[in-house]
Copies of this chain bind each other. A is one copy, B any other.
Amino acid sequence: MAGQSDILRRLGRAVTRGREEILRILAESPLPLTPRGIRDKFTDPKPDAATVYRNLALLSSLGLVRSVALHERSRRYEATEVGAHRHRVVCRSCGRIEAFPARECDLSRIENDIRSRLGFRVTDHSLEFFGKCPGCLGKGNRP
């Protein structure tokens, strides 16, 4: 059941500490992480930033991780779960991020429209909500 490492081997890519750790770190994180945040979670010796970027690109291309575009300075990554995906809520006041499994996410009507009107074949989507978290709602604070 070493699933993901097998995928790497099967494709002729080496299984290295960097790759296994990235997968583990992301699988254990409740939130998508930035490349920087991922690197910070390594125990020493930490890999070079370039290696983290290269491995995220590789794992992305294999579908093992997925990048998330919130409206931030840096991109974030999350582990992909088989047959599932997540949506996110971002607090515009404090930046807090919550991710939640997208059960019964039905965007098929929209996807069908896209197919028939624009001719695009949609393979996936990303949906983010923005607003205020409970903490920031409480004390009426910084916009």
Contact = CB atoms under 8 A, between A and B. Distances in A.
Interface of A: 67, 69-71, 75, 87, 89, 91-92, 98, 100, 105, 107, 110-111, 114, 117-134, 137
Contacts of A114: 89, 100, 129
Given A71-B75, A87-B110, A114-B89, A131 B137 contact: no
Contacts of A92: 123
13 contacts: A67-B71, A69-B69, A69-B70, A87-B110, A89-B120, A98-B120, A100-B118, A118-B133, A119-B134, A121-B132, A122-B130, A124-B129, A125-B130
A135 B63 CA distance: 23
Contacts of A133: 118-120
Given A69-B70, A114-B89, A124 B120 contact: no
Contact of A120 (B75, B127, B134): B134
